[in-house]
Amino acid sequence: MGIELNELHQKVGAELKRMRLLAGFSSYEVFADKNKLSKIQYFKMEKGTNFTLKSLDRILKIHDISIINFFHKFDKEIRTPTNVECGDRIAIVLDSLKQSKLEFSKSIGFSNANQINAILSGRNNISAKLAYQIEKVYPQFKFSWILNGEGEMV
């Protein structure tokens, strides 16, 4: 189930160190001193052994990064890999309907084909929201088949 707490601590620490280095501080001590932080506490944070959300938030403010954006990076890392079959199912739908990517995209409420292109290229998976929208407009395609290839297509 996702990422373990110890692993998350290690990833947070490594990311803090990476951000410090990118900011031009080769020494954690100089960074801590310049920003009026406890050197020992900051060292432990970079090692992933001792920090609170409050202390993490303080460090992130120094780097001008919100805590939400910081953790969003880790969320991307642990998401399930894209499913190659998603693109295949969208291609089957397009072929069955004899529509272009843009025509299909517009028919399900999008202004362009970017989301469909991302699925066809393997960058994105089909979301439940998209599967629902496709089934709503084209009831001949079943939700569970669109979403994850389960069951019958029609």
In a domain, 18, yes or no: yes
pLDDT at res. 1? 40
Same domain, 74 and 10: yes
Low-confidence ranges of the chain (pLDDT < 70): 1-3, 74-84
C-beta of residue 101 within 8 angstroms of C-beta of residue 116:
yes
pTM summary value: 0.49
Range of the domain at 12: 5-78
pLDDT tens-digit map of 13-27: 999 999 999 888 999
Task: Please report how the helices 67-78 and 53-62 are oriented relative to each other, as an axis angle in degrees rounded to 10.
Answer: 100
Is residue 154 a part of any domain in this protein?
no
Give the mean pLDDT of the chain: 87
Helix axes 39-47, 53-62, angle to 10 degrees: 100
Q: Please give the structure tokens belonging to residue 53.
A: 């959300």
- Contact (Cβ atoms closer than 8 angstroms) between residue 11 and residue 3: yes
